[in-house]
Structure 1
Amino acid sequence: MLLALCARIEADRPADLPALHALTRAATEEFNDLETAFDEAGGMIETVGREAMAEEFRFVAEAYGFTDADVEELIAPREG
C-alpha cells in the first residue's frame, strides 16, 4: 500500500496538502479494508500496528517535501 501511495504521488504530483490528502486518504481506506479482512479472518491490527502505519504515512509525506503535513489529516478516515 505504501509503495502504491508513493507511485500515485509521483504520478499525480500533488501541488499542495489538500491534493496530498486526497491520495493519502484513499490509501487509508485501503488500510481500513485490510483491517476488515484481518477481522473477518479472526485477527486484528493492534493499536501499535495502526500507529506504525500512521508514522509511515508521515514519512512518505515528508519524503515528498510535505514537511508540514499533519499525520491525523493524512489518515483522517482511519478506523480503529
Structure 2
Amino acid sequence: MLEKDYLADMYRDPYFPDFLVDKIKTLLKEVVALLESGESDLEVIQAAFDKATIGINELEEEFDDNDSEIETAARESIGETVDLILVHYKVAIDCEEAIREREW
C-alpha cells in the first residue's frame, strides 16, 4: 500500500492534528507489517486488528485534548484504510469485523 492511501481524508482535514493521525497510521502499519511477513492465520490477523483498534480507542482522550475527536469523518477514513488493507493483502475478514473492538 502507498503512504498516501493511509487515512487520506483525515490528513486533508485540519480538524485532525497530523501528529495524532500519524499515531493511528502507525498502529495500522503494525498490522500491515504482520501481513507483509506472510502471516495468513486469520485469528492472528484479527488479533492484530483488535490490538490496533484498541490502540485507536486509547487515542480518543488525546484527540479531545487537541480540540478534535474520532467522529464520523475519522471513522469513515479509518474504515476506508482498513478496507484498503484487507483488499490489498487479500485478507478474508470483513471490515466491520476487523475493527470490531472500536469505541468510536
Q: If the TM-score is normalised by the length of the shorter chain, which range does it land in?
A: 0.7 to 0.9
- Structure 1 position 78 matched with structure 2 position 73: no
Deviation beyond 4 Å, 4+ runs, structure 1: none
Cα 1:8/1:36, change in 2 over 3 Å = farther
Q: Give per-residue Cα distances to partners, 1:14-40, cap 9 Å, x unaligned.
A: 32x222111111111111112221123
Identity %: 32
- Structure 1 position 19 matched with structure 2 position 44: yes
Unaligned runs of 5+ in 2: 1-25
TM-score (norm. length: structure 1):
0.78
1:4 aligned residue: 30
Q: For the Cα contact (< 8 Å) 1:9–1:23, is it kept in 2?
A: no
Residue 43 of structure 1, CA deviation? 2.4
Supply the distance in 2 between the matched residues of 1:14 and 1:37 (Cα, whole angstroms).
33
Unaligned runs of 5+ in 1: none
Q: For the Cα contact (< 8 Å) 1:38–1:44, is it kept in 2?
A: yes
